[in-house]
Amino acid sequence: MKPKVVIGNWKMNKSFDEAEDLISDIEDALDGLNINTLVVLSPPYLYLELTTDHAAEANFECAAQNCSQFKNGAYTGEISANMLADLDVEFCIIGHSERRKYFGETNAILAEKVNRLTEVDMIPVYCCGEVVEERKAGTHFEVVEKQIKEGLFHLSPEAFERVIIAYEPVWAIGTGLTATPQQAEEMHLFIRSLVEKKYGTEIAYNLHIIYGGSCNPSNALELFSQPNVDGGLIGGASLKAEDFVEIVEAAETVGKEN
């Protein structure tokens, strides 16, 4: 079985000192564990270098939360994939529902961002997921299919192999309303079958599809035990070292059982 992936998305939280403490606490807690799980911390841009400095000595990696759709140039306030790669940032979250909602990111823009990342051999963590109205209307599969096809399916098989997909039902983000393990499994299986049709069985099998939305130490084990849930994208619970490490331990436990 492939190792699980657990990514902590800090969003726009923590002062520099708090970030330093959180990174060190996670580093110390993981130091004693011989873990197989791929652990990734995704702090705000300003703390990326701090995180990559620690990551060089620790058993976690570092992700940005966004990148520009452009390579370089007169785009005030933007950060390019090249700049991130220069800092040894290997992963980048793309298309989080908060970016789609508050910053108008469309599937077409996200497809460009994915291109910028794969061009510099970074790993896009491509987010998808329906809002509550779409879930209630029963259109959630269609919505996710469109997000995946328009944002990712232009990639060559070689580029697609680098991608991680995060299914984050928007109604479960920050609400305490987790998708049931069955709802998560059903959608992950659906996503994997889309990928299988497009890229074949081997690439679909190797793809990591992780779940996000109110994932915490008390539900992580059950979610990660689903056959198509390959880990988690953790928001609120990644801001406390203890909770985050417990989620990593849940991923380890499931990884060992299989």
The residues carrying an active-site annotation are 96, 168
Q: Rounded CA gap, 119 and 224, in Å? A: 31
Residue 213 has which token pair? 């939305």
Q: Which stretch binds ligand 13P (CB under 6 A): 45-53, 139-147, 194-202, 230-238?
A: 230-238
One of 151, 217, 231, 235 touching ligand 13P (CB under 6 A): 235
Our finding on whether 5 is near ligand 13P (CB under 6 A) is no
Our finding on whether 65 is near ligand 13P (CB under 6 A) is no
One of 88, 236, 240, 253 touching ligand 13P (CB under 6 A): 236
Sequence-ordered list of residues with C-beta below 8 angstroms from that of 123, at least 6 positions apart, any chain: 90, 91, 92, 117, 162, 163, 164
Cβ atoms 230, 213 nearer than 8 A: no
Shortest spacing between CB 200 and ligand 13P, in angstroms: 29
Q: Rounded CA gap, 172 and 169, in Å? A: 6
Residue ranges in 155-174 that form contacts with ligand 13P under rule CB under 6 A: 168, 173-174
Concatenated DSSP letters of 160-177: HTT-EEEE--GGGTTTS-
Q: Per-residue contact track with ligand 13P, 191 to 220, x per CB under 6 A? A: ---------------------xxxx-----
Sign of CA dihedral 142, 237, 121, 108: positive
Our finding on whether 233 is near ligand 13P (CB under 6 A) is yes
Closest CA to 130 of 138, 122, 121: 138
What interhelical angle do 140-152 and 107-119 show, nearest 10? 40
Our finding on whether 234 is near ligand 13P (CB under 6 A) is yes
Closer Cβ to ligand 13P, 101 or 197, answer by number: 101
Residue 225 has which token pair? 């035990």
Size of residue set near ligand 13P by CB under 6 A: 14
Residue ranges in 106-125 that form contacts with ligand 13P under rule CB under 6 A: none
The binding site for ligand 13P (CB under 6 A) comprises 9, 96, 168, 173-174, 212-215, 233-237
